[in-house]
Amino acid sequence: EVRLVESGGGLVKPGGSLRLSCAASGFTFRSFSMNWVRQTPGKGLEWVSSISSSSSYIYYADSVKGRFTISRDNAKNSLYLQMNSLRVEDTAVYYCARGSGQLPAADGMDVWGQGTTVTVSS
């Protein structure tokens, strides 16, 4: 069974940092691009970042560029999102999602995790 499990969410003060993790299983992790997508309570989906299967191509939404860093460890079947300089508006459920191909721009997200909640508040 293909599975993605996010962890690392929590409550953090504005300006703080948090590192999200996504553990993948049930598929050849190194062969697929990966993505982070977030959803503010009661609102729609917002793409955050994507990384290609070999980490050669990385993309960020303008809203997080310079503050968030996506990375992956193919040996550990894991995806990460380092979030620095967090803002109140970063409060959301963060989903890890598998791309259906090696390149983020080529194929969309086909498998999603259950999400982890990040709350930025003083």
Partner 1 sequence: QSVLTQPPSASGTPGQRVTISCSGSSSNIGTNYVYWYQQLPGTAPKLLIYRNNQRPSGVPDRISGSKSGTSASLAISGLRSEDEADYYCAAWDDSLSAWVFGGGTKLTVL
Neighbours of 103 (CB within 10 A): 15
Q: Are the CB atoms for 110 and 99 separated by under 8 Å?
A: yes
Decide: is 116 part of the binding site for partner 1 (CB under 8 A): no
Q: Which residue has the tokens 């459920």?
A: 93
| # residues contacting partner 1 (CB under 8 A) | 25
Query: Across-strand partners of 45?
Result: 39
- The pattern of x and - marking residues 24 through 63 that bind partner 1 according to CB under 8 A reads -----------x-x------xxxx--x--------x-xx-
Q: Which of residues 91-110 bind partner 1 (CB under 8 A)?
A: 95, 97, 100, 104-110
Q: Which two tokens stand for residue 112?
A: 């999603």
Query: Across-strand partners of 23?
Result: 5, 78
Residues of this chain that bind partner 1 (CB under 8 A): 35, 37, 44-47, 50, 59, 61-62, 95, 97, 100, 104-115
